[in-house]
A and B are shown apart, each in its own frame.
Chain A
Amino acid sequence: MKKLFEKHNNWFFKTGFVITVFMVTLVVIGQIWTPYDPAAMDAAAKAQGPSLAHFMGTDNFGRDLFSRVLEGAGATLIIAFFVVLLGAGLGTLIGALTGYFGGVVDEVLMRICDALTAFPSVLLALIILAILGPGRLNVIGVLGLVFIPSFARIVRTEFARIKKLNYVSLAKLQGVPTGRILLRHILPNIMPVLLPAISIGFNNAVLAEASMSFLGVGVSASEVSLGRMLSDSQNYILRGLPWYAIFVGLTIVLLILGFSLLGEGMRQEE
């Protein structure tokens, strides 16, 4: 960790790191243990503010908010993880191939990407999800898909730049096969650009999940996620239960703040 802080010796990174580690630790604990069953309803404890028994209060069904926030944040992070895995994974593959080889495939794929980026990605996701219907897997699939172009673009630019550098020419001269050049020679060198993009992507995925679920096309009614909770909470803000929205909103803010600062910190190295 000391080494990590030496490498990224700035406050963005350090603050982001501390926040992210704190949040992720909480979420991991939440996957194993929560003070209450997050789904247990209790008519006797409906819509309460924070108390000793319920640290964040309870929701309109009397469910413990802290337990639900832990579980919801876990679900949101898992969704974000797979969204980024899909988006960054396929985006990197496409970007690497088009950036390195260029040509007609590059032209076609990049025009498709242009078309996709010209359309606001969240809106696009919204439309597809409205057709597919809500659900965790649908959210992951659709958001992952709309995240591909941004990664593909970044990776393509980097591959196109690095393939002209002398060490790549040298590798060719040494008889290194193309696959290995892409994977072992170029890929490690785009990490300074890819890692912040992944961290920002994570950020966007958390926000996008929240937005989708907030608008009712995200996870289904019996699944928990931060966005879903935020959506449910809005009805109670002015009906004596502002804590619901505040705690859920705060959790989302902390999560994305952590990732943003991490990304920002890594970017500062360049």
Chain B
Amino acid sequence: MNDTPAKILEVRNVSTSYTRKSPLGKVKIQHVLHDVSFDLYEGEALGLVGESGSGKTTLARAILGFLPKYEGTIRHFSERPQVVFQDPYTALNPAKTVEWILGEPLRMLGIQDAQARRQKILDMLIKVGLDESYLSRKPSQLSGGQRQRISIAAALIMEPRFIVADEPVSALDVTIQAQILELLARMKEEFGLSYLFISHDMNVVYQLCDRVIVMRKGVVVEEGDIDQIFDAPRHPYTRELVEASK
């Protein structure tokens, strides 16, 4: 790793838990995240791997500012971090057209001129592999892959430097997965993006990421270079994950 790249994100000692009352009145504290710390650098794609329930989505929510309460600190060094969600069906407003969905972030950026917005939207559509004909469509008229392309377009149109991708391909079938991963990789190059790429699938992570954090039950069990993790996993859990993906 180069030592010059700037930090995009700094996560320090982040913990969160919820208390659960058993029927007998015993109070039980359930840890979701426990003392999680890591950094993300400019231009880096950091994979966050773990099975479901490992706390990776909670961590993503904390980073995006959707988690009202947690301990520790999360510092952003870029403006307007964006997200691509796993489920392309709930990520797009079903009542709106593609043009409106992609236009909304532009309106928020203060671009009031409809013509200017339209041009930017068209450019972005082409970048994500779609065209003008999609402008007036509603999400219900799109396939899963097309929806995910729109989601990516919606994230990119804000011109962020950092994107959280929460299982962006796991809901898609394999051929589409490859296309979307290819798109994400291309965009990363084109816009110089940093990714926090969350996935349960080692294979997918391997295709896109430079570095990996492995989480289990809210705790980071291993962190390292993608090749190191893949070739020489140290933690038994990591080994399990790697084995499963082969």
Contact = CB atoms under 8 A, between A and B. Distances in A.
Does a CB–CB distance below 8 Å link A and B in the complex?
yes
Contacts of A127: none
B66 interface: yes
Contact of A188 (B64, B87, B95, B105): B95
Task: Classify the secondary structure of B's interface with A.
Answer: loop
Given A166-B87, A169-B66, A169-B83, A189 B108 contact: no
Task: Classify the secondary structure of A's interface with B.
Answer: helix
B128 interface: no
B208 interface: no
Contacts of B221: none
A112 interface: no
A167 B64 contact: no
Contact of A174 (B65, B92, B94, B104): B104
A253 interface: no
Contacts, number: 45
B108 A165 contact: no
A174 B66 contact: no
A159 to B, nearest CB: 14
B69 to A, nearest CB: 15
Contacts of B158: 174
Contacts of B95: 188-189, 191
B90 interface: yes
A189 B66 contact: no
A152 B184 CA distance: 43
Contact of B83 (A173, A185, A189): A173
Nearest to B95: A188
Contacts of A189: 93-95
A133 B83 CA distance: 58
A203 to B, nearest CB: 25
A170 B83 contact: yes
Interface of B: 64-66, 80-83, 85, 87, 90-96, 104-105, 108, 154, 158
Interface of A: 165-167, 169-176, 185, 188-189, 191
The 4 nearest A-B residue pairs measured at CB: A188-B95, A166-B91, A166-B85, A174-B105
